[in-house]
Amino acid sequence: MTAPYDPSDREKVVAKLPLALRQELKVRAAQLSVDIQDAVTEGIHAWRQSTDATPVDTSGGSSFATYLPAGLYDEFKQDCKSRSVAYNQGLAQSIRLWLDTHSMPKLVRPAQCRRFVVCNQKGGVGKSAVSAGLAESLAEAGARVCVIDFDPQGHLTKHLGQEHLGIKEASLAKYMLGEADGSVRDLLIPIEYDAFMGRLFLLPACKDAFLLDAKLATTRNVRVKETALEKAVEELEKDFDYIVLDCPPSLGYTMDTALYFARTRDGEDAQASGLVIVVQAEDTSADAYDLLLEQIEDIEDDLDVQVTQLGFVVNLYDARKGFIATSSLDSWQEFGDPPVLAVIPDVKEQREAVRLKRPLLEYAPDCEQAMAMRNLKKALTK
């Protein structure tokens, strides 16, 4: 839509608005890829034409600043005065009106479950954080999502405020090895926050997964080495739109099962499922990717399958680290295929969310990292 004004000709305006309204505006604008100043401008225009704007509780308001087209601020204040409405109340009503007429975009639910395998051989790059953020953003947008903690260290499980499964309890590893009875569905834990509305579930980690490589290596059934994961979670695919798999930093048989799970299946679009490769803007991530690439190529050649590399996520990026960071980011972006899907900044909110054991998109929904996670979701589902 073409703006009815010159976007470069603006003036700063300040108001006092409640925190909840400001956060809702920031999140919704990010979800719709709209600048906040444009959202507020549209809301004011709509409010000036409206005759029945809903009052908003503005108690406890704090400073909010944005930029409006030159002249609109004065006109808006005059309208507020003529309606006997305080300026802060008028602006709050305008924002509320914009929010009510610009609902959160909903994902088109896929015809069959799509599988995003989040991986890289290098530890400490933030695979668990990216897995959680991607799953949260998908659930926030209306999809049913299962996020699987496939790493026995269980960082993802702890981040979401849950505990490891007991070593003697049923677990994903035991289902993969045929050592558990019942349904794998019984292991699922709902992540119950309003933002996800009963759509986000976790399959938690268990420390027995440390034994998985050794047990897969000694199985007599060669095909089990690759198909064990897919068979174990097959029933979950009937319940969810997306499965996000957080992989361990490993190149063993466990990772082989994850690569096979991510392969393009018969009749499936090559971009529907595949690998989301988490890296950092430094050289060791590139070295680890080379090792992962060799394993991908071996699986493809040995089993005659295609494993799509959906793209890279450059995590914990901080340009202040200088040439090493900026030149490394350039190198990842120059790949082209696979592309860089998202660049996640290194800011404090993710670490705070982990410390508090709360989902990032619930704890700090309008922070830079949360916005980047939504951009990642958008890149994978466009």
Same domain, 56 and 139: no
Same domain, 200 and 51: no
Which pLDDT value is given to residue 379? 95
**% of the chain exceeding 70 in pLDDT:** 96
Query: Is there a domain that residue 107 lies in?
Result: no
Query: Is there a domain that residue 26 lies in?
Result: yes
Task: Give me the count of residues in the chain.
Answer: 382
Query: Is there a domain that residue 184 lies in?
Result: yes
With tokens 């009749």, the residue in question is 267
Which pLDDT value is given to residue 85? 94
C-alpha span between 335 and 341 (Å, rounded): 12
Chain segment 19-38, per-residue pLDDT in tens:
889 988 988 887 787 889 99
Average the pLDDT over 123-128 and give the result. 91
Which pLDDT value is given to residue 5? 46
Of 182-191, 221-230, 269-278, 340-349, the least confident: 221-230
pLDDT over threshold 90, residue 299: yes
Same domain, 183 and 156: yes
Of 23-32, 157-166, 193-202, the least confident: 23-32
Q: How confident is the model at residue 53 (pLDDT cuts 50, 70, 90)?
A: confident
Query: Is there a domain that residue 138 lies in?
Result: yes
Could you give the count of Cα atoms lying within 13 Å of 270 in the half-sphere of its Cβ?
Answer: 7
Same domain, 179 and 52: no
Domain ranges, residue 150: 114-381
Average the pLDDT over 42-46 and give the result. 96
C-alpha span between 196 and 208 (Å, rounded): 30
Same domain, 147 and 253: yes
Same domain, 26 and 156: no
pLDDT over threshold 70, residue 66: yes
Query: Is there a domain that residue 109 lies in?
Result: no
Query: Is there a domain that residue 74 lies in?
Result: yes
Number of domains in the chain: 2
User: Chain-wide mean pLDDT for the chain?
Assistant: 91
Which pLDDT value is given to residue 2? 41
Q: How confident is the model at residue 191 (pLDDT cuts 50, 70, 90)?
A: very high
Same domain, 166 and 274: yes
Same domain, 148 and 270: yes
Same domain, 77 and 206: no
Q: What is the pTM of this model?
A: 0.83
Chain segment 300-322, per-residue pLDDT in tens:
999 999 999 999 999 999 888 89
CATH number (domain holding residue 359): 3.40.50.300
Choose one of 101, 122, 156: the last residue of a domain.
Answer: 101
Which pLDDT value is given to residue 1? 38
Query: Is there a domain that residue 208 lies in?
Result: yes
Same domain, 167 and 302: yes
- The CA-atom distances, in angstroms, between 278 and each of 124, 129, 246, 367 are 10, 10, 11, 20
Identify the burial level of 280 via C-beta atoms within 10 angstroms of its C-beta, where 0-12 means exposed, 13-18 middle and 19 or more buried: buried
Same domain, 70 and 120: no
Same domain, 328 and 242: yes
Answer whether 99's CB lies under 8 Å from 40's CB. no
Query: Is there a domain that residue 288 lies in?
Result: yes
